Chains A and B, each alone.
Chain A
Amino acid sequence: MSKRVWKRVYAKLDLFLLLLIPLAWYVVFKYVPMYGLQIAFRRFNPSLGITASPWVGMRYFSQFFDSYYFWEIIYNTISLSIYQLAIGFPIPIFLALLINEIQHKRLQKTVQNITYIPHFLSVVVVVSMLNLFSNVDYGIFNKFLGVFGFPAADYMAKAQYFQTLFVFSNVWQSMGFNSIIYIAALTAIDSTLYEAATIDGCSRFKKIIHISLPGLLPTILILFIMRMGSLMEIGFEKVLLMQNPINMSSSEIISTFIYKNGIQKGQFSYSAAVGLFNSLINFLLLLFSNTLVKKFTKTSLW
């Protein structure tokens, strides 16, 4: 590197030192553990250690692909992710736009606080709330739907309702918190634009469409790409807590499958293979969505 570059680095040395901390975090917790990935191709024997266990090639991958549950797990993971994305992604944007439109400052703050407080509940609490709400005898879902003549049912024990319960309880819990970043982006929009639009006779709805939304778009796109990259990583703890033998046919996803086979049953090589496969799909999705977004707009991760 040229001397000039070093000079510029040296001038801001304190900032670069600060950068070192997250960099070290990535190296220690994200890159170094990757060397353990090789056990996906080895028959891991703890007394021999990671590097000395015998190679078995793609054996654990084919074991997973040949498994009876392969397609079911893949389908569950992908459909739950897409459902989650389709419902969970746009709602915080709408919420942010709505909150932004509230003129009364106190009311605006109150609404914002009320919507983001559920974020601080722990997953265990939310799942036990779901369990109580869907109780056949006294659950609020059954009490409410009973008014309209629906027969009582234990919704947690029905495979077909699992995804809906999961996604909408997530929306309830996180929409307020996720909307904060959009609200911040909205406040950054130049207020003169709104004033000019008012003078030109725009309605409030038109202002949302032509000023607020375009102003939000870069934020939306970046967040969308990020979400695509972690599409297959759905809230593992919550799914695990919501599982029971009856809804298993729609609630078993890759991460819970890895947990049960790898951590609980000690099949480390097999679950490393499954995990690697999962990450590979994530990575491809990230590439795909980034290319897509890059093609239509100028925003992209790189």
Chain B
Amino acid sequence: MKKSVMVLFVLVVLLMSIPAAGNKEVAVTVPAAPTAGLNASGFPIVAEPVTLKVFGVRDQNTAEWKNVKMLTEYQKLSNVIMDYQEVPTQGYDEKKSLLFASNDLPDVFVRAQLSKVEIAKYGMESGQLIPLNDLLKQYAPNFMALMAKYPTILASITSADGNIYALPELDLSNTGRMGFKQWINKEWLAKLGLKAPTTTDELITVLRAFRDKDPNGNGLKDEIPLGIREASSIYVLGGSFGLDHQMKETINIENGKVHIWLKDAKFKSYLQFLNQLYEEKLLWKDYYKRDLPSWRSNLSNALFGAFYMPYSDVFLKVENQFTGYAPIKGPYGDQLWSDANSGVLAVGAFAISNVCTNPEVAMRWVDYFYSEEGSLFFRYGIENETYTLDANGTPVFVDSILKDPKGFMTALGQINLVPGGGFPQVITNDTDGVVASALTKEVSAMMVPYLPEQVYLQPSFTQEESEEFVTIVQDLYKYRDEAVTKFILGEWKFDKWDEYCATLDKIGIAKLEKLYQQAFDRL
């Protein structure tokens, strides 16, 4: 009898020990001395193959990374074997958070979409990302050259403790100077005898004509006068009301003063303008539903009269129906295009974790993509195989990619990671042509004169600031997004405006402005 009790006891102990084993805490490893056989410059990077574990997010148009042509070619060239463990966009945020929380880290993060807050948290606070400053000086001549040429890059990527924990995606081309470009259907305009609008009033007139006069001539009222892709892009016309979009937020910066304009009278009249568009059925009615499939089908069927898109790649087949126009003048005489970029697109495109034993190899691996040559290689691939140079020396993809029956983006996703952007690289006027068609470049040029003089990225917060920032922002921006949508849809009437302002005060808009100002002053 005693025996069987013992058996029971042993069984219980065995079962208990299973979860305990999983909870062992991983010790922090210190990077070892530089890898043997590392070449300071040129290829291969290492004499003997080195394997690095990579974590990142895969765009839906991209093939599995281990099969992407550019990456396999680069592996042969560099002798660095990347063990890709990429995750699809859906559910990526969860996976990223859990990865850091469980401290089960890869060696490097590529196309990682790390935010400023995350860089501060996992870099400055927990030390899971290592500072790259010394590595940059020693092993990243291309990136250092770019920083020397464009001093704003350094300020945008430096954390509050003076360290750099992540490398960005840089877009130094003209098309990259703004996010959304504005497009309008020139065939519809010609048919109705209208000109592209220059003021907000003219815009409304044009949109009403699009709505009522069946410009595509199919006898159906299927035209959608104005397309805005999602709720977060609703500020795209704010520039015409003097509402800039500095630090990629609802912020103006004048004479060194940070101002969140959510309570301004100009913003109220902007919302009233959008509300009018919505009530008159001029604005796409499903804009707030995050319904990308129907957005794309409306675009490729040319059902939108006017809309905002960064590139024409999604509606390439009908792009000739469209043209650009200069930003419109608002009721207060403002004429500004607020969706501007500083050249630094994604701050957290690349990072190295503290478990990586060959950080210098990783640094050399990524630095190549910050050179002209590397940019061409990353974006276009191999000359005479994936692209050819035309008479002007401009790279053009070969027809098998351009005219792939599965679509250009899918074909592109087989050879590189351009679809979706966010890769650590530099994009220049010579290499932006992958997604920017000639027309996109033309449209961008029309808007460049109206960009703000200076564009600031979100500044870096200290640990305490960051904690306070997150606490306020999670309520404030949530409330803002909800309120803005309700005002536009007419769920809330504008007599609620004072209540809305009072709520913003209560959540702490003044404190938030102060936090931004403090961090901005450190730049």
Binding site for B on A (CB under 8 A): 6, 10, 13, 16-17, 20, 24, 27-28, 32-33, 44-52, 63, 67-69, 136, 157-159, 244-246, 248-249, 261-268
Could you tell me the distance in whole angstroms from the C-beta of A25 to the nearest C-beta in chain B? 9
Interface pair A49/B289, CB less than 8 Å apart:
no
Complex Cα–Cα for A45 and B481 (A): 30
- Known contacts A28-B15, A28-B18, A47-B28: A266-B97 contact under CB 8 Å: yes
Give bound CA distance, A156 to B489, whole Å: 14
Interfacial chain B residues near A52, Cβ < 8 Å: 25
User: Knowing A6-B1, A45-B125, A67-B475 touch, does A264 contact B103 (C-beta < 8 A)?
Assistant: no
CA distance A138 to B130 in the complex (A): 55
Could you say which residues of chain B place their CB within 8 Å of the CB of A45? 125-126
Q: How far is the CB of A6 from chain B (nearest CB, A)?
A: 7
Query: Of B5, B101, B102, B482, which contacts A249 at CB under 8 A?
Result: B482
Knowing A6-B1, A46-B100, A47-B354, the reply to whether A267 touches B470 (Cβ < 8 A) is: yes
The 9 closest A-B pairs by CB, nearest first: A49-B25, A266-B97, A68-B475, A47-B126, A264-B93, A24-B15, A32-B19, A46-B103, A245-B485
Evaluate whether A10 and B15 lie within 8 angstroms (CB atoms) in the complex, with A246-B489, A249-B482, A266-B100 already known: no
What's the minimum C-beta distance from B23 to chain A, rounded to whole angstroms? Answer: 8
Q: Closest residue to A17 on the B side, CB-wise?
A: B8
In the assembly, what is the distance between CA of A159 and CA of B483, in Å? 13
Q: Is B103 a contact partner of A261 (Cβ separation < 8 A)?
A: no
The CA-CA distance from A246 to B122 in the complex, in Å, is 34
Residues of chain B at interface, number, CB under 8 A: 52
- Indicate if B325 sits at the interface (CB-CB under 8 A): no
| CB-based contact A268/B101 at 8 Å | yes
- Whether B118 and A266, one on each chain, are in contact in the complex, defined by CB atoms closer than 8 angstroms, is yes
Name the interface residues of B370-388: CB closer than 8 Å to any CB of A: none
Task: With A6-B1, A266-B101 given, name 20 new contacts (CB 8 A).
Answer: A6-B5, A10-B1, A28-B15, A45-B125, A46-B101, A46-B102, A46-B122, A46-B126, A47-B127, A50-B25, A63-B471, A68-B503, A68-B506, A157-B489, A244-B288, A244-B290, A262-B97, A265-B474, A268-B97, A268-B101
Name the residue on B nearest A53 (C-beta). Answer: B126
**How many Å from the CB of B14 to the closest CB on chain A?**
9
Query: Whole-angstrom distance between the alpha carbons of A31 and B11 in the complex?
Result: 17
The residue in chain B whose Cβ has the minimal distance to the Cβ of A7 is B1
For residue A47, which residues in chain B have a CB less than 8 angstroms away from its CB?
A: 28, 103, 126-128, 354
Interface residue B497 (Cβ < 8 Å from any Cβ of A): no
A13: nearest chain-B partner, CB-CB: B4
Residues 96-121 of B, flagged 1 when their CB comes within 8 A of A and 0 if not, give: 11101111000000000000001001
How far apart sit A248 and B97, CA to CA, in the bound complex (Å)?
Answer: 24
Query: From residue A165, how far is it (CB to closest CB) to chain B in Å?
Result: 16
With known contacts A48-B126, A246-B486, A68–B479 Cβ distance under 8 A: yes
CB distance from A283 to the nearest CB of B (A): 23
**A246-B474 contact, Cβ under 8 Å, with A20-B8, A46-B100, A46-B101:** no
Closest to A264 in B: B93
Cα separation A45 to B482 with both chains bound (whole Å): 32
Looking at chain B's contact residues, the main secondary structure is helix
Q: Which residue of A27, A245, A264 is within 8 Å of B288 (Cβ)?
A: A245
Binary CB contact string for chain B from 18 to 55 against chain A (1 if under 8 A, 0 otherwise): 11100101101000000000000000000000000000
Known: A13-B4, A47-B128, A52-B25. A263 touches B482 (CB 8 A): no
Once the chains are docked, how many angstroms separate the CA of A95 from the CA of B486?
40
Across-interface contacts of B125 in A (CB, < 8 A): 45
Most buried by A among B126, B127, B474: B474
Task: Please indicate the chain B residues that have their CB under 8 angstroms from the CB of A63 in the complex.
Answer: 471
Give complex CA distance A52, B128 in Å: 15
Chain A residues, CB < 8 A from B160: none
Q: For B121, what are the chain A residues with a Cβ–Cβ distance below 8 Å? A: 266
Q: Residue of A at shortest CB range from B7?
A: A17
Q: Residues of A contacting B289 with CB < 8 Å?
A: 244
Which residue of the partner chain B has the closest CB to A48? B126
- Could you tell me the distance between the alpha carbons of A45 and B503 in the complex, rounded to whole angstroms? 33
Q: Contacts of A246 on B, CB cut-off 8 Å?
A: 288, 482, 485-486, 489, 491
Task: Report if B507 contacts A (CB, 8 A).
Answer: yes
Shortest CB-to-CB span from A27 to chain B, Å, is 6
Interface centre among A24, A27, A265 (most CB of B within 10 A): A265
A27 touches B100 (CB 8 A): no
| Interchain nearest-CB distance for A86 vs B (Å) | 27
Closest A residue to B14 using CB positions? A24
Residues of B within 8 A of A261 (CB): 474
Residues of A close to B25: CB separation below 8 A: 49-52
Whether the Cβ atoms of B19 and A69 lie closer than 8 Å is no
C-alpha spacing A20/B127, complex, angstroms: 43
Minimal beta-carbon separation of A288 from chain B (angstroms): 31
Question: In the complex, which residues of chain B have a beta carbon less than 8 angstroms from the beta carbon of A68?
Answer: 475, 479, 503, 506-507
Provide the residues of chain B in CB contact with A48, threshold 8 Å: 126
In the bound complex, CA of A266 to CA of B16 (Å): 28
Q: Give B101 Cβ to nearest chain A Cβ, in Å.
A: 5
The listed residue with most B CB atoms (<10 A of its CB), out of A20, A47, A268, is A47
CA separation between A240 and B509, bound complex, in Å?
Answer: 28
Is B254 on the interface with A (CB-CB < 8 A)?
no
CA distance in complex: A249, B489 (Å): 15
B212 at the interface (CB under 8 A from A): no
CA distance A61 to B467 in the complex (A): 14
Query: Which among A33, A44, A264, A266 has the greatest number of chain B C-beta atoms within 10 A?
Result: A266
**B94 CB-CB contact with A under 8 Å:** yes
Nearest chain A residue, comparing its CB with the CB of B11: A20
- Complex contact B97–A263 (CB within 8 A): yes
In the complex, B144 has a CB within 8 A of chain A: no
Contact with A along B61-94 (1 / 0, CB 8 A): 0000000000000000000000000000000011
B231 contacts the other chain (CB 8 A): yes
20 CB contacts below 8 A, A to B, read: A6-B5, A20-B12, A24-B15, A27-B16, A46-B100, A46-B126, A49-B25, A50-B25, A52-B25, A68-B475, A69-B475, A69-B479, A136-B285, A157-B489, A159-B491, A245-B288, A246-B288, A246-B482, A261-B474, A263-B93
Residues of chain B lying within 8 A (CB to CB) of residue A17: 8
What is the bound-complex CA distance between A259 and B25, given in angstroms? 24
Contact B98 A49 (CB under 8 A): no
Interface membership of chain B positions 492-523, coded 1 if the CB is closer than 8 angstroms to chain A and 0 otherwise: 00000000000100110000000000000000
Residue of A nearest to B476 (CB): A68
CB distance from A210 to the nearest CB of B (A): 49
Task: Tell me the bound Cα distance from A164 to B93 in angstroms.
Answer: 31
How distant is the Cα of A261 from the Cα of B93 in the complex, in angstroms? 11
How far does the alpha carbon of A250 sit from the alpha carbon of B93 in the complex, in Å?
Answer: 25
A264 touches B11 (CB 8 A): no
Closest to A33 in B: B19
CA distance A267 to B12 in the complex (A): 34
A245 touches B231 (CB 8 A): yes
For B149, the chain A residues whose CB sits under 8 A away are: none
Q: Within the complex, what minimum Cβ distance (angstroms) separates B371 from chain A?
A: 34
CA distance A52 to B288 in the complex (A): 43
Q: How far is the CA of A222 from the CA of B18 in the complex (A)?
A: 34
Pick the residue among B12, B16, B128, B506 that contacts A46 (CB under 8 A). B128
B137 in contact (CB, < 8 A) = no
Instruction: Check if B478 is an interface residue, CB within 8 A of chain A.
Output: yes
Q: Are A10 and B127 within 8 A (Cβ)?
A: no
Find the residue from A24, A44, A51, A159 having the highest chain B CB count within 10 A: A24
